């Protein structure tokens, strides 16, 4: 009897471990919500909501045979082996530092019990140890990582079909009902978020097909416009493994190539780059990769952080993004960059607070992509945006949401303001504000920070850091 341990691979198609388990014989499919101390990165609220529905879907695909557990994965796997006649265990690899440590330990424990353990790659196009510089060290800059590293490495494997036959066994160890995992919040926020998504494996495939038939047509330019449906919105499915990057990569290669598809493929490689950084620099989620930033005078907490989280900063594009995040569990990439820059370079708040809020609210919250992106935005990462690049939320709004469609959708109290003032309502004459029923400070906040002074403060702090001794 073979355990198939589902983790971040909640799918039946293109699942290498499931294929191997099915070939080996009878399967006992399990999922463990590991909330033990080994888990240093407990899942955020939105991810838990997504997981709830994704597990329900996976269980349907496995004809109701998925056994659910909660607790310490090592202890549970040992008990499963004691209660059933287990000969082997299959899983697909994860790359979070705590999971790597835990899985090594589990592998050793099960092997000592005489259980054969086999792990596979189901979530990356290239393993992090496969793409290295000539001298054997990891890349720290994206373009050479992708061009010299990925594109000259072995091509990503082609996707596998769903196993033709899966024979399930009776599990002798009692398991949890889905509701008993406690993944849904006490407030009905899950319904607010999940109504925007079809969080099933089929939903992932549909999203991919729709995108490759429609959204991709204007991806290169349109991917920067938050009002447009020009990006795939595949990130939560990729995170939970409801679709594999190989399925997406090969589907994109099967079409006539153009600059839109090439740009999309390179975006998929940004995900690979984040995983490579996390693997080679496991301190990525917790420490500035550039040590000199440890002395940067970033602040913690306070009213400004709360205003940012609640989408009440007085800067409409920032508020639209933060409200999109709360209402849908997602935020468009361009807007993620604008709100991130605002947090660390105008509010001068530590990037880890932004990372933590995203971690809790994003349905695609991913340790590698989230921490690499926040370090990039903050300027302290491996391949960071230069610190002096401060996004101006007024200019960004005017440029990337020209007609204001996105901003008006999430900040409806400004919907009647003319485009000219939409991204800077404080400059609107009184009669314009009155006509649009906007009362600054009452129906919509005044800006919580002055852009020019805060930018100068940030740059001065950075300059001081640069002039210090190199670390
Ligand atoms: C501050 C900040 C935090 C972020 N946190 C996360 C996170 O927790 N999880 C996450 O998946 N992405 C994160 N990203 C990256 C990016 O914003 C999302 O992957 C993207 O918006 C997802 O939308 P999409 O699927 O429509 O992307 P598309 O444009 O359709 O791209 C296709 C896929 O490529 C990958 N991808 C694209 N851009 C990036 C990128 N810059 N970095 C890594 N992978 C990328 C994603 O898997 C995405 O689904 C973050 C970006 C920023 C600036």
Please report, in tens digits, the pLDDT of each residue of the chain (471 residues total). Answer: 999 999 999 999 999 999 999 999 999 999 999 988 888 899 999 999 999 999 999 999 999 999 999 999 999 999 999 999 999 999 999 999 999 999 999 999 999 999 999 999 999 999 999 999 999 999 999 999 999 999 999 999 999 999 999 999 999 999 999 999 999 998 888 788 989 999 999 999 999 999 999 999 999 999 999 999 999 999 999 999 999 999 999 999 999 999 999 999 999 999 999 999 999 999 999 999 999 999 999 999 999 999 999 999 999 999 999 999 999 999 999 999 999 999 999 999 999 999 999 999 999 999 999 999 999 999 999 876 777 889 999 999 999 999 999 999 999 999 999 999 999 999 999 999 999 999 999 999 999 999 999 999 999 999 998 777 554
State the Cα–Cα distance between residues 273 and 124, nearest whole angstrom: 10
Task: State phi, psi for 120 to the nearest 5 degrees.
Answer: -135, 170
Whose Cα sits closest to atom 17 in ligand 1? Answer: 333
* Pocket test residue of 203, 246, 267, 368 for ligand 1, highest count of atoms within 8 A of CB: 267
CB atoms within 10 A of CB 270: 17
Which structural domains are found in the chain, ordered by start? 2-119 (3.40.50.620), 123-159+202-280 (1.25.40.80), 291-465 (1.10.579.10)
Say if ligand 1 is within 6 A of residue 373 CB.
Answer: yes
Mapped onto helix, strand or coil, the DSSP state of residue 5 is: strand
Q: How far is the CA of 226 from the centre of ligand 1 (A)?
A: 13
State the Cα–Cα distance between residues 274 and 414, nearest whole angstrom: 37
Q: Where are the beta strands (DSSP E) in 143-235?
A: none
CB atoms within 10 A of CB 286: 12
- Cα–Cα distances in angstroms (integers) from residue 245 to residues 18, 122, 265, 372, 375, in the given order: 17, 8, 10, 19, 24
Single out the residue of 19, 121, 99 nearest to residue 107, CA to CA.
99
Instruction: Give the number of C-alpha atoms closer than 13 A to the C-alpha of residue 308, restricted to the C-beta side.
Output: 28
Say if ligand 1 is within 6 A of residue 197 CB.
Answer: no
Whose Cα sits closest to atom 24 in ligand 1? Answer: 233
* Pocket test residue of 367, 369, 378, 389 for ligand 1, highest count of atoms within 8 A of CB: 369
In the chain the first and final C-alpha atoms are separated, in Å, by 54
Mapped onto helix, strand or coil, the DSSP state of residue 222 is: helix
Say if ligand 1 is within 6 A of residue 231 CB.
Answer: yes
Say if ligand 1 is within 6 A of residue 324 CB.
Answer: no
Q: How far is the CA of 137 from the centre of ligand 1 (A)?
A: 25
Q: Residue length, the chain? A: 471
Q: Give the ligand 1 atom nearest the CA of 237.
A: 49
Structure letter (DSSP) for residue 343: I
Scored b (16 or more CB within 10 A) or e, 173-185 reads: eebbebeebebbe
Say if ligand 1 is within 6 A of residue 364 CB.
Answer: yes
Q: How far is the CA of 369 from the centre of ligand 1 (A)?
A: 7
Please tell me the pTM assigned to this model: 0.97
Mapped onto helix, strand or coil, the DSSP state of residue 288 is: coil
Scored b (16 or more CB within 10 A) or e, 328-350 reads: bbbbbebbbbbbbbbbbbbbbbb
Task: State phi, psi for 32 to the nearest 5 degrees.
Answer: -120, 120
Whose Cα sits closest to atom 12 in ligand 1? Answer: 369
Say if ligand 1 is within 6 A of residue 2 CB.
Answer: no
What is the side-by-side strand order in the sheet with 67-70?
67-70, 27-33, 2-6, 88-92, 116-120
- Which of the residues are catalytic? 267, 270, 298, 333, 351, 374
Whose Cα sits closest to atom 19 in ligand 1? Answer: 235
Whose Cα sits closest to atom 33 in ligand 1? Answer: 268
Q: Give the ligand 1 atom nearest the CA of 211.
A: 30
Single out the residue of 210, 180, 225 nearest to residue 402, CA to CA.
225
């Amino acid at each position: 009897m073979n355990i198939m341990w589902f983790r971040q691979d909640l799918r039946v198609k293109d699942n290498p471990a499931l294929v191997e388990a099915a070939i080996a014989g009878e399967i006992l499919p399990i999922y463990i919500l590991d909330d033990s101390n080994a888990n240093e990165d407990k899942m955020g609220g939105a991810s838990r909501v997504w997981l709830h529905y994704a597990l329900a879907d996976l269980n349907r695909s496995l004809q109701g045979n998925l056994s659910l557990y909660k607790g310490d994965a090592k202890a549970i796997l040992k008990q499963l082996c004691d209660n059933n006649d287990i000969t082997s265990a299959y899983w697909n690899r994860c790359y979070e530092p705590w999971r790597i440590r835990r899985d090594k330990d589990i592998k050793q424990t099960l092997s000592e019990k005489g259980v054969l353990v086999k792990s596979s790659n189901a979530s990356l196009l290239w393993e992090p140890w496969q793409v290295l510089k000539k001298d054997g060290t990891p890349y720290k800059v994206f373009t050479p990582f992708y061009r010299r590293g990925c594109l000259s490495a072995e091509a990503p494997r082609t996707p596998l079909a769903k196993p033709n036959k899966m024979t399930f066994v009776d599990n002798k160890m009692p398991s949890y009902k889905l509701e008993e995992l406690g993944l849904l919040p006490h407030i009905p926020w899950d319904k607010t978020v999940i109504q925007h998504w079809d969080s099933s494996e089929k939903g992932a495939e549909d999203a991919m097909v729709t995108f490759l038939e429609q959204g991709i047509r204007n991806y290169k330019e349109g991917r920067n416009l938050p009002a447009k449906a020009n990006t795939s919105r595949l990130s939560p499915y990729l995170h939970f493994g409801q679709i594999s990057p190989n399925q997406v990569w090969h589907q994109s290669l099967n079409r006539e190539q153009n600059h839109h598809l090439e740009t999309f493929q390179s975006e998929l490689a940004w995900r690979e780059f984040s995983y490579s950084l996390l693997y080679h620099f496991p301190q990525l989620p917790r420490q500035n990769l550039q040590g000199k930033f440890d002395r940067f005078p970033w602040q913690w907490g306070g009213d400004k952080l709360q205003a940012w989280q609640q989408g009440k900063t007085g800067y409409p594009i920032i508020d639209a993004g933060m409200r999109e995040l709360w209402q849908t569990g997602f935020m468009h990439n361009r807007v993620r960059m604008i709100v991130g820059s605002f947090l660390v370079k105008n509010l001068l708040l530590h990037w880890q607070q932004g990372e933590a809020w995203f971690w809790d609210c994003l349905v695609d919250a991913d340790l590698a992509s989230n921490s690499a992106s926040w370090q990039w935005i903050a300027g302290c990462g491996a391949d960071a945006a230069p610190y002096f690049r401060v996004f101006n939320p007024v200019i960004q709004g005017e440029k990337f949401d020209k007609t204001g469609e996105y901003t008006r959708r999430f900040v409806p109290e400004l919907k009647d303001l003319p485009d000219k003032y939409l991204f800077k309502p404080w400059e609107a004459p009184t009669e314009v504000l009155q006509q649009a029923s906007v009362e600054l400070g009452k129906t919509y906040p005044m800006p919580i920070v002055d852009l020019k002074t805060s930018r100068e403060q940030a740059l001065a702090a950075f300059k001081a850091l640069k002039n210090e001794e190199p670390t």
